[in-house]
Structure formats: C-alpha cells, structure tokens
Amino acid sequence: MTQPLLQIKNATKVYGGGFLKTGPTTVALQDFNLTIDAKPATITTIAGESGSGKTTLANLVLGFVNLTSGQILYKGNDTGSMDRNQTMEYRREVQAVFQDPYAVYNPFYRVKHIFDLVINNFKMANNKKDARDLIEKALNVVGMRGEEVLEKYPHQLSGGQRQRMMVARAYLLKPRLIVADEPVSMVDASLRAMILDIMLRLRDEEGISFLYITHDLSTAYQIGDRIYLLYQGATAERGDTMQVIENPKHPYVQLLINSIPVPDPKVRWGGDMEATSVDDEQMRVNIKSGCRFYPRCPARMDKCLTAQPPLYVVGKGRHEAACYLYDDHPVTEESAREQVAG
C-alpha cells in the first residue's frame, strides 16, 4: 500500500502559558487526526466557526507553528525530523493560499519579481525563457495573462486578481497539496465561484489535493470530497461531504446545517441560528473532561460530562461523529487506540 500524502496523528497545539508555563493557555487543537490519500487527488474541507482551530491546523501543516504534541507525516516521513532534501521537497510540494493575499506580497516588488523569486528559490527553470513560459502557463491556469499583470505592483491589482495570482504562484511549484485557508471569504460571489472552479480543475487535471479551510458550509457543499467539522479544536463529525451535510449526526453539526442560508428561497434548511449566533471564541469553555459542546447542546446527557466522546462510526463511507448519542455504535480505530493508550 502506498503511503498517504498527508497524515496528522493526535496533533495538539496549546498556545500561551508563557515562559514559566504558568500563564493562561488555549488548546487550539486537541488530538486531531486526518489522512489525505496519495491518490486520487481530493479536496478535504475543514469547516468550523471562528476560533475552532482551522488556521492553527493550516499553520501546523505549513510548518509555520510547531506542534505541542503529535505528528504530521508527509508521504510517511515525520515532518518534525526530515532531512534537508525531504524538507525542501515538502516546502515545494505543500503550498499555501490565504484569505488576504495582499499580506503575503511585498508591495515594493512588481508581480513579475514575486514569481521570479519562487522560480529561483526552487530552481524551477534553467533560463529566462523557460521561466517566462512557466509563469505564463501558471497565470493561464487561473484565467490571467502575463502581459496583464506581470509589470504591475500588487496594489494595482484587484482583490480577485491578487487571489488568483496566489493560486498561480502555488501552482507554479507543481505542488501535491495546497492548503487554502479561507481563500474565498473576502471575495464576491462570482469570483468565489471562479476560484472554487479553479480548485476543482487543479484537482482533476493536475492531481493537486487541497486542504480547504472555510467557515462557510455552503462552499464546502460545492466542492468538498471529505469534510471535517471542527468544534473547539476537535473533530465533531467527519465523512463524505454530501453524506455529512445531507445527514448530519452530531447535534452541533445539525444546528450548523439547519442555519445555512440557501440562495434558493424555495429550499428551506430550517431557521435555527442558535449554533452560529455566538462564535466559538466566546464560548470556549474550560470543560476539563467531557464534551466541549455540552453547554450548547440540545441533546446533552449526564454522561457527556464524564469524558470526551470518541468518534463513533455513524454511517457509510467513514462517516463518524464524536457524540454519545451513538455510543452503541463501534468507535473508530483511532479512537479505540486512544482509549487503550489513555
């Protein structure tokens, strides 16, 4: 069996504590597990409210912050102990697209220079013509042309052009995985559709997988293969996107999905906004043991305060939910391992 492309094992990230480790801490991500297969390329959606740990996860995968505990494996190699060549390969093959691409660009450089830097850094071309061809191809993939943008400065482009350029820049490196943290939350509806469409094409035509991070479930519905719903740093539910969105099992996910605004007024999803009326950040409670969703849960039981619920298998296609409502179902292998270990 081939190694998965990316494997996250029991990843935990705790912020704060200070030098003496006595200050306040935030558990941004706890015992998080995720696998992205090597083939075929897929889009894995990470969805959750503000403060649920999505950006922390992206930053961990991109190596911008370090794990407190756990492991991230790329093609079977622990990213925490890779040699120079493996690290270089990882940096090239795992690329990022952020919400606000402006923050990434140096405003004093023309667009051309930003692309040249990447090409030189990763030795992508042997001469100027090859470099220019690569850049042109990458821009074409996102529906732009070199002559339109290369001589301009970042501030002279529209937000949508900057965002597409970010995708082109990532594409240039022939990545296997693009980590896209809320790539469409700051653009308008038509651009959103265009960028999501580019992601689908890159998946199908170029074999690029995505870790697609969003707080907006309706975009997940449009493109995701697998989805993970995060609640306060842990997976509440995961499975095939259609399966989860059409038949959610976790009370939190049920509340979320009932509150999705749908463009077509004939389609009613229900109107319960309870789950989204407060964000995770404000609700982050220090439940030392037990289910994090307890304070907001319409189905809570005494049992929920005793221990964090493991992921139970709740349906076809590895559909799993971390909720004691399903404690007569089998737990996932991962959860079973944790229970033995813990």
Helix, strand, coil proportions of the chain in percent (round to 5)?
A: 40, 20, 40
The option from ligand ADP, Mg ion, none interacting with 106 (CB < 5 to 8 A, set by class) reads: none
* Residue 127 burial (CB count, 10 A): 8
Min CB(145)–ligand ADP separation in Å: 34
Min CB(24)–ligand ADP separation in Å: 9
- The interface region with Mg ion, picked from 52-60, 65-73, 134-142, 272-280 by CB under 5 A, is 52-60
Q: Which of residues 51 and 101 has its CB atom nearest to ligand ADP in the complex? A: 51
Q: Tell me which DSSP letter residue 153 carries.
A: -
The option from ligand ADP, Mg ion, none interacting with 52 (CB < 5 to 8 A, set by class) reads: ligand ADP
Can you give the C-alpha Rg of the chain in angstroms?
Answer: 21
Yes or no: say if 245 and 221 are a contact pair by the CB < 8 Å rule.
Answer: yes
- The interface region with ligand ADP, picked from 50-58, 107-115, 261-269, 320-328 by CB under 6 A, is 50-58
Q: 53-72: which residues touch ligand ADP (CB under 6 A)?
A: 53-56
Q: Which of residues 52 and 332 has its CB atom nearest to ligand ADP in the complex? A: 52
Q: Which of residues 116 and 182 has its CB atom nearest to ligand ADP in the complex? A: 182
Min CB(116)–ligand ADP separation in Å: 32
Q: Which of residues 44 and 55 has its CB atom nearest to Mg ion in the complex? A: 55
Min CB(179)–ligand ADP separation in Å: 12
The option from Mg ion, ligand ADP, none interacting with 310 (CB < 5 to 8 A, set by class) reads: none
Min CB(242)–Mg ion separation in Å: 25
Rounded CA gap, 237 and 314, in Å?
10
Min CB(65)–ligand ADP separation in Å: 7
Q: 258-297: which residues touch ligand ADP (CB under 6 A)?
A: 281, 284
Q: How many residues bind ligand ADP (CB under 6 A)?
A: 14
Q: Tell me which DSSP letter residue 2 carries.
A: P
CA nearest 11: which of 340, 334, 304? Answer: 334
Rounded CA gap, 68 and 183, in Å?
27
Q: Which of residues 101 and 146 has its CB atom nearest to ligand ADP in the complex? A: 101
Q: 7-46: which residues touch ligand ADP (CB under 6 A)?
A: 15-16, 26, 28
* Sheet with 234-240, edge to edge strand ranges: 94-97, 177-181, 209-214, 43-47, 226-231, 234-240, 319-321, 312-315
Q: Which of residues 188 and 281 has its CB atom nearest to ligand ADP in the complex? A: 281
Helix (H) or strand (E) holding 10: strand 6-16
Q: Is 55 among the residues that bind Mg ion (CB under 5 A)?
A: yes
Query: φ, ψ for residue 186 (rounded to 5)?
Result: -110, 10
Q: Which of residues 64 and 201 has its CB atom nearest to ligand ADP in the complex? A: 64
C-alpha torsion sign, points 196, 198, 199, 201: positive
Q: Long-range CB contacts (< 8 A, 24+ apart) of 119-122?
A: 119/172, 122/88, 122/92, 122/173
Q: Which residues contact 198 (CB under 8 A, 6 or more apart)?
A: 141, 142, 143, 164, 167
- The interface region with Mg ion, picked from 48-56, 60-68, 242-250, 273-281 by CB under 5 A, is 48-56
* Residue 305 burial (CB count, 10 A): 13
Q: 92-111: which residues touch ligand ADP (CB under 6 A)?
A: none
Binding site for ligand ADP (CB under 6 A): 15-16, 26, 28, 48, 50-56, 281, 284
